[in-house]
Structure 1
Amino acid sequence: MLTMTRASLASPIPLYLQIADALRDRIARGVWQQGQLIPTLEQIAGEFDVARVTARQAVQLLMTEGALTPQRGRGTFVSAAAPSIKPVQVVTNLQELAEMYRSTTPELLTVDENSRVPAVGASLGTLAPAYTHMKRVHSTDGALYCVISLYLDERIFSTSPERFRTQTVIPLLMDLKPCPIAKAHQTLTIGSADAETARLLRVPADSPIARVERVFNDRDGLVIYYADVVYRGDVVRVEMDLGGTSLRKK
């Protein structure tokens, strides 16, 4: 039996939403396929060690979303096919990164915009006088795949605020004449989704995620762009050409 962990119980996210996330994830991964009969409310309640009413709330939420359909006398069935999320390739140079954003054309949902300074160490560069901070959720074909918290030098943002609000920032920076990016660096780490990230990406809390810290500096070492990007762990793909050795016959 899968019981809710202490972290889950202490989470500000209601239990039925956490269970709905777990059930939604099963559909997304194809564990529950379209047309399949799902377990009963009693079985779901027993699996997660919660009350039947909590299990019913979770299932009803997925019914509202159209993922599940009840059939009188038969049970509840998966009505929506698993969403297809294109893998996100981790690239290793700035030009490829810009092209990736141009080719994928993610759908943007800004969940916050304000003036805020990034909390970065001096080793990453000198901070600009002011930044525009935007927190966004990226999706493709309606499937959410990353949350990005980015900071853009206010002086650059003010040159074309509407475009920076409605388009991906990196291609816009690359198209500026002259391009202000003199140095670009990113760091990839693996972790698990916190409650807020899980809510925005609609995945279970503590799901695996890939976090990318991305920093662009101008020629004077000023941080003109800083981003903390969190990708769903199941969409990230890393490919590395390790080369090879040729065997010589003696």
Structure 2
Amino acid sequence: MASADSPRFGDSPIPRYLQLAELMRQRIARGQWPQGHRLPSLDELGSEFGVARVTVRQAVDMLARDGLLSPQQGRGTFVTGQPSDRWLSVQTSLASLARMYSDTEPQIVNIDESTTAPALRPGEGQAADRYVFMRRVHSRQGQPYCVINIHLAEPVFRRSPRRFRDEPVIPILVGLKSLRIAKAHQVLTIGTADMEVARLLDVPVNSPVAEVRRIFRDDTDRVVYLGEVTYRGDAIHVEMNLLP
């Protein structure tokens, strides 16, 4: 039995029981530990992960509070629940993206608004003269699932400022008859939650997240919308058809 935590988890400032709980949560989510599965003993788990028995107990207690595990005296610890379904799909067309935001009816909390200009990369288009910046959190059934940094060209924002503040931006943009989105592009990368994102999304620091950078351009190649979205890793899944 490990008598003290080993450095297997590295020198992260995150408590090891939180890191271990996330690893165990992922095993449950991926089906490695299915419903009804009896976990190895605390000592066996401590040996496998290179942590002290008390660290394993803290991780198990945390997942038990979340309804995923059930420690039973004299019998062991069993998997009794599943993490939330990954209900948010990565969309590959502008129309389906707009429908997704309309259908989910997110609760929106605006946490910042200014006139900050976006930092555009080579090949991403030409900047407009002025932008309105909004930072917001989207939630579903009381659970935050993404943080969005939005840069919206000011002339576009002024067409419907109240709606842009109160509703998902993309369905409004797609519905504007006076605006033609000539180019729409997005890039998805996998990252980890920093302290601020972890706080806003109610996840442990260094939890997996999906980061999406979306850019819409008009007929003149001006960037009318730049969105940088950070999704909880347990909310999103990617599905794509492959060409034969």
How high is the TM-score relative to the length of structure 2? Answer: 0.74
Residues in 2 aligned to 1:23 and 1:204: alpha-carbon distance in whole angstroms = 16
Give the C-alpha shift of residue 164 in structure 1.
Answer: 3.5
Residues in 1 aligned to 2:102 and 2:71: alpha-carbon distance in whole angstroms = 41
Is contact 2:28-2:34 (8 Å) kept?
yes
Q: Equivalent residue for 2:11?
A: 10
Is contact 1:24-1:62 (8 Å) kept?
yes
SS at match of 1:118: coil
Residues in 2 aligned to 1:17 and 1:38: alpha-carbon distance in whole angstroms = 18
Q: Equivalent residue for 1:85?
A: 86
SS at match of 2:152: strand
Give the C-alpha shift of residue 237 in structure 1.
Answer: 0.9
Structure 2: stretches of 5+ with no match in the other structure: 1-5
Residues in 2 aligned to 1:153 and 1:44: alpha-carbon distance in whole angstroms = 53
Q: Equivalent residue for 2:62?
A: 61
Structure 1: stretches of 5+ with no match in the other structure: 243-250
Residues in 1 aligned to 2:36 and 2:109: alpha-carbon distance in whole angstroms = 35
**Count of matched residue pairs:** 234
- Note the alpha carbon deviations across 1:61-92, whole angstroms, 9 max, x for none: 1112122122121122222135332361441x
Give the C-alpha shift of residue 155 in structure 1.
Answer: 5.3
Is contact 2:137-2:144 (8 Å) kept?
no
Distance verdict in 2 for CA 1:138–1:88, change over 3 Å = farther
Q: Equivalent residue for 1:21?
A: 22
Query: For 1:1-250, what aligned pairs fall within 5 Å after superposition?
Result: 8-86=9-87, 88-91=89-92, 93-103=93-103, 105=104, 107-108=106-107, 110=109, 112-115=111-114, 116-121=116-121, 123=123, 124-136=125-137, 147-154=147-154, 156-157=156-157, 160=160, 163-178=163-178, 180-193=179-192, 195=194, 200=201, 202=203, 205=206, 207=208, 211-230=211-230, 232=233, 235-242=237-244
SS at match of 1:53: helix
Residues in 2 aligned to 1:63 and 1:224: alpha-carbon distance in whole angstroms = 46
Residues in 2 aligned to 1:4 and 1:156: alpha-carbon distance in whole angstroms = 52
SS at match of 1:10: coil
Distance verdict in 2 for CA 1:192–1:153, change over 3 Å = same
Distance verdict in 2 for CA 1:4–1:149, change over 3 Å = farther
Residues in 1 aligned to 2:39 and 2:205: alpha-carbon distance in whole angstroms = 18
Residues in 2 aligned to 1:176 and 1:102: alpha-carbon distance in whole angstroms = 15
Is contact 2:110-2:165 (8 Å) kept?
no
Q: Percent identity?
A: 35
Residues in 1 aligned to 2:205 and 2:31: alpha-carbon distance in whole angstroms = 15
Distance verdict in 2 for CA 1:47–1:174, change over 3 Å = same
- Give RMSD over aligned pairs: 3.6
Q: Which amino acid aligns with 1:176?
A: L
How high is the TM-score relative to the length of structure 1? Answer: 0.72
Q: Which amino acid aligns with 1:235?
A: H
Q: Which amino acid aligns with 1:97?
A: L
Q: Which amino acid aligns with 1:30?
A: G
SS at match of 2:10: helix
